[in-house]
Amino acid sequence: MADRVQMKLIFRLDGIGFSLPVNDLMEIREIPATLIDGSKADSERLVEGSAPYREGSIPIVRIADRLGLQGKGGENRVVLVLSGSEGPWGAVVDRVEGVFSEKEFLTLPLVPIFMHHGQRAYEELDLWRGEPLVCWHPGRFEQSLDGP
């Protein structure tokens, strides 16, 4: 039986590179800002609103806000649809760079002093083609929204 190739998606926020195991990704969508229902916003959980998704809707989360980054706005939102503890949700990113074999990455632990405000939304860096990328894990990020 052939080995299954693991893949990682690279995305950007405010010029910073992030890696995401594709196993955590349901799909990538471009959603017009006009389709985001702001009446469902929740500033404490960084939810910009909700957007139509298949038979229902999903919360759209601006992850840049939690990480202290700007992120870009615009007429359309690039959204990574992820599986969460309460169902699918969308993470807004600036752009998706591509999907690459996990063999191209060297994963290294992040020294605790560099963790964002002591939160553990990310704990590792990937070195990819000479560039450090933040290893982003949606489940860990989702848990960090419940903390201080």
- Portion of the chain with pLDDT greater than 70, in percent: 86
Q: With H, G, I as helix, E, B as strand and everything else as coil, classify residue 138.
A: helix
Residue with the bigger pLDDT between 39 and 4: it is 39
Q: Residue 55: which of 87, 98, 10 has the closest Cα?
A: 87
Q: With H, G, I as helix, E, B as strand and everything else as coil, classify residue 134.
A: strand
Identity of the residue numbered 36? I
What predicted TM-score, i.e. pTM, was given to this entire model? 0.87
Is residue 47 predicted with pLDDT exceeding 70? yes
Q: For residues 48-73, give the mean pLDDT.
A: 90
Instruction: Work out the burial of residue 90: count CB atoms within 10 Å of its CB; fewer than 13 is exposed, 13-18 middle, 19 or more buried.
Output: buried
Q: What is the pLDDT of residues 131-147, one digit of tens each?
A: 999 999 898 888 776 65
Q: Could you tell me if 41 and 137 are in contact, meaning their C-beta atoms sit under 8 angstroms apart?
A: no
d(CA 113, CA 148): 17
Q: How confident is the model at residue 117, as a pLDDT?
A: 54
List the structure tokens of 23. Answer: 């196993």
Q: For residues 26-42, give the mean pLDDT.
A: 93
> Counting every residue, how long is the chain?
148
Is residue 116 predicted with pLDDT exceeding 60? no
Q: Residue 49: which of 84, 79, 11, 14 has the closest Cα?
A: 79
